[in-house]
Amino acid sequence: MYDFTDSIILITGSARGIGFAIAKAFATARATVIVLDLNEDAVDQAVKLLIDTGGKAYGYVGNVTDAAGIEKVFGQIVKDHNKIDTLINNAGITRDNLMIRMKEEDWQMVMDINLKGSFICTQKAFKHMMRARQGSIINISSVIGLMGNAGQANYAASKGGLIAFTKSCAKEFASRNVRVNAVAPGFIETEMTASLSDEVRAEYGKAIPLGKMGSPDDVARLCLFLASEDSAYITGQTIAVDGGLTMH
C-alpha cells in the first residue's frame, strides 16, 4: 500500500472517468488530491465524493489550453498547498472521423486539448518543481498513439506526440530530479466504452491477449507507482496498460 501523506497530486481532467479513478486511488493512498477540470459543478461533485470516502481533496477550475489561466491557477495551488509533487496530464478528448471527412476544427481541438494542454500544464508545473528539485510528471497517452487507428488520425497524432514530448521533457528535466513518464491505456471500461455493443466488445476481447478490457483502476495503480519512490530510476518511458494489445 502506497502512502502519499503530505504529497500534493494534481490531476487534470479528473472530475470523471479515468482521471477520477486516478484521483480516488491517490486519495485512498492519503495524498492531497487536486482536482482540476473545466466544469465547476463537476469539480465540486468529484471533490465531495473523494472527501465523503475519507480522502483529502481540493478543486480548481481551469482550461488546460489557456496558458495565462493555468499559470494563475497553478500559482494559486502552490500558494494554497506550498508545492506540487506530481502532475498527471489526463485531460483529453476525442473527435473521431475518417481522414477524408475530418473537419479542421476537430483536428485542432483534439491537438489543443490533448497535446498543447499537456505542454502548458507541464511547463507551468515544472517552474515550481525545478525550484523544489523534485517531482514526477505523468502523461496519459494511449495505445492509439503507439499503433494508430482508422478514424482517429487526430487522436493518434496527439497521443503519439505526447509520447515524444514525454521523452524530450524527461531529458530536459532530469538534472532537476523531475521525472517524466507516459502511461498508454488500451481498451478501458469507461462511460464511452459502456455504450459499445456486445459484438464490438467481443471483437475487442479477441484482439487482447488477456481477453478482456481493463479498468480505470488498472491505469490508476500504474500512476501510483510512477509517482512513488519505487520508480525513482524510471524516466522517459511509455508503459502500456492494455492486456498485451501492444508488445514492444
Q: Which of 2, 60, 155, 204 is catalytic?
A: 155
Beta-carbon contacts of 100 under 8 Å, excluding residues fewer than 6 positions away, are: none
Beta-carbon contacts of 5 under 8 Å, excluding residues fewer than 6 positions away, are: 30, 31
CA of residue 60 relative to chain centroid, distance = 16
Confirm whether 233 is a catalytic residue: no
What spatial distance separates the first Cα and last Cα of the chain, rounded to whole Å?
A: 29
Q: How far apart are CA 90 and CA 70, in angstroms?
A: 15
C-alpha cell at position 3? 502512502
Q: How far apart are CA 210 and CA 203, in angstroms?
A: 13
| Cβ atoms 94, 17 nearer than 8 A | no
Integer angstrom CA distances of residue 136 from 51, 96, 114, 216 = 24, 31, 19, 20
Nearest of 94, 241, 248 to residue 182 by alpha carbon = 241
DSSP letters along 96-120, please? ---GGG--HHHHHHHHIIIIIHHHH
Which strands sit side by side in the sheet containing 135-140, from one edge to the other?
56-61, 32-37, 8-12, 86-89, 135-140, 178-185, 238-241
Question: Which residues are known catalytic residues?
Answer: 155
